[in-house]
Structure 1
Amino acid sequence: MTIFDSAVVDYGWYRVAFSLLNVSKKEKDEFITHLKKHKYLFWVGELGGNWDIMVNFVCKDVYFFNKLFEELIAKFGKYIREYELLIYINLRDLERNYILGKKEKKSFIHGMNYDPKVKLDDLDRDIVKELTKDALITNLDLGSKLKVSRNTIKNRIKLMIKNKLLLGFRLFIDPRVLGYSSHMLFLEINRLNLEEEKKLFNYIKAIPNVTFLVKHIGRWRVGMEIETKDEREFQDIFTDIRGRFSDIITGFESFPIFQDHLIDYFPEGVLE
């Protein structure tokens, strides 16, 4: 899987959690099918617990996000009991060290810093589209497909990496295939100054089972995904985090992720 930070070209990320209202399986599937086809969504997850579905939008600004969100509510509002909105500040994509067993944990940091000097032309967009489809495609094959030289592709990708638009490549694994389950853990924080944030984030990202770590604006200031063999292991990790940082954690919510229905860091709408 190719990992991009679309915020570099001024596309921010917005997260919405939905709790559904007495919907049938057919109605829920209809909602999910619509979300999977949405041109501005890069993740659609099916959850358990208090929340049923969570999605991540990629949008040019908060006004466009609001437009898309209101369109969604107008069409499916009758299915929705409650929702929670969050704005991404930064994100760390983390290696699965519980599988790899490395001493140092590699991370892809989405700084989400807009760089007005970075512009995408048609060739850049085509390269992004193809890398999104196939992260393993060679420069030669990609150049042949787009009718440009291998060196042109190589130089464009090199520039994307330099500009922190392209962060790297990560093997996508469904943890359920390996006998692991995935949970989201969201934390409410009463204060998060730079010193406390550094301590908290450094501790959490070093946990082998944590695969994503996010800072939000919204009710839940910190979010993470944790993959464990069973509920007991998840509970032990959560209890440890809550105990170590009890002076700043004022609330929390956790829920299992049953299925990732969509993952696409550069959805179709952004590349049009």
Structure 2
Amino acid sequence: MSQHEIEDTVADSVRLLHEHHRGDDHRDLFFALYDFQAGFDCGFTHGRVLEILVERRFTYRLPLTSHPQYAANNRAFRGAPPKEWRFVDSEVLCREPPEDRLRVGHENGVLLEGSLYCDAGTPLWHELVAAGVLRGADAEPPQPPSVGAVALHVARAAEAIGDLELIAMWINFGPDMLFPGTRRVHKGEVLGMSPFTGKPIVAEEDAELRREPTVAELAANPEAVALRELSRRVDAKNVRVHYDYRPPREHQSEAEAWFWD
């Protein structure tokens, strides 16, 4: 079951930034929003705000023939139902994408009404750039800010028009989701014990893992401080929302208590 609270917040944020934000490149902001959404159990929701995504150059609408796989599979491409989204990998070519692309099903493009849709920064986008289909500014890779920075942009735009519910939804996601810390682990390092087997869980490679931020880290982060102050200014913690991520006060971590209290 999709996490509709994430999907709704992202779509509402896209609409708000499009209408009321006059700052950073929307393409970068939208990339950060959909990258955030991709980390949860969410569906493909571009249809809600498709024309905005196309106008702001995050999503490209192209002829079917632009796809690198079209020539070898033109019958499959032309046979896709015109009024339904069809993922190129799983529903047009009927193949499983490579393991490193399982996270987002539309990274090799999506078809709708006889057109190909491609998001900036995806593997298909890179192929189209290399082939010269996308050029100039459209060939520049997105430079997304952190999700916490996007939340602040959204909250400031929302405050300007009095949309307190959208502010509250972002605030409720909490510091661990918006301003996560990281820690470096090395291959072979024991990360913990499996609750199912009782055996150690070992890092398979050197990597950066997420961790909850500390209060000191949050207090030193201008965006976290600004979002906390905005939340207090509009009393966001007392705004009723349809889904609340906040645990009871007695179960909050120090970072959560700092951010929400």
TM over 0.5: no
TM range (shorter): under 0.3
Higher relative contact order (Cα pairs below 8 Å, separated by 6+ residues): 1
Give the TM-score taking structure 2 as reference length.
0.26
| Structure with bigger gyration radius | 2
Structure richer in strand, relative to its length:
1
Structure richer in helix, relative to its length:
2
